[in-house]
Structure 1
Amino acid sequence: MPSTTEGRRICQIIKLKPEAEAEYLRVHKEVWPNVLAALERAHIVDYSIFYHKPLGLLIATMKYVGDDWARDSAINAQDEDTKRWWAMTDGMQESFIEGATGSGKDVPWWTEVPEVFRFEGTG
């Protein structure tokens, strides 16, 4: 059960290899249900990936509503379907982080981007 309704917003970026564009977009039209279930178990909601083609940039945004990001990320990284998904999609990407070798490792694969502005409005 999530510990907060506010949560933590996260934004991450990575480069999509140009030759992998069609395949990456295709597989994300039908993300494996077990991968989605693992995200929910890790208290990740409102997850989107945007693609800025001119720069080959993938931009992921999500909301984390748990109480221990490191623990939930580690648990998610042990999920067998998630590991298979990452093995497939990591090969389509280029990390901006020196020494990164793939998702779920000691060195982050996606680069976390700090939030510099937020406007939530009044409804």
Structure 2
Amino acid sequence: MPTHFIKLKPSAVDEYKAIHAAVWPGVLAALERAHIVDYSINHYPPLQLLIATMKYVGDDYDADMKKVAEDPETQKWWAATDGMQESFATGATGSGKDIPWWTEVEEVFRFEGTS
């Protein structure tokens, strides 16, 4: 389950939450086509962090993420949301580019249980 983080601009908190309260159906459809069955974004205000986790159930993560990046509706979504964020990645210029906009973090522990 990949986890990523990025900084949310303090001036954009309300706008970011509002747009995510009604995510565009085409964006959600692109995620589903990419075999993402569980996706959440959490906000940690003291550090202005957005932390995203997703459950990927496909066979080729890189290819599926490329399809998401090529989706026109997702590109419009990123154009609306990228300006609300500040990337931690040196040289990043936006979502779907060669340098990842969101920073992926290493998982050091997971417990899934048996239930």
TM-score over 0.5 for the pair? yes
Q: Which residue of 1 aligns with 2:30?
A: 38
Name the TM-score, length of structure 2 as normaliser.
Answer: 0.98
Runs (4 or more) in structure 1 with deviation over 4 Å come to none
2:52 aligned residue (45, 52, 60): 60
Q: CA RMSD in A?
A: 0.6
Identity of aligned residues (%): 68
Question: C-alpha offsets along residues 18-77 of structure 1, whole Å, 9 cap, x if unaligned?
Answer: 000000000000000110000000111110000001100000000111111111111111
Q: Hey, what does 1:27 align to over in structure 2?
A: 19
Give TM-score scaled by structure 1 length.
Answer: 0.92
Gapped regions of structure 2 (runs ≥ 5)? none
1:1-123 correspondence runs (5 A): 9-123=1-115
Give structure 1 stretches of 5+ with no counterpart.
1-8
Aligned residues: 115
- Structure 2 residue matching 1:99: 3-state secondary structure: coil
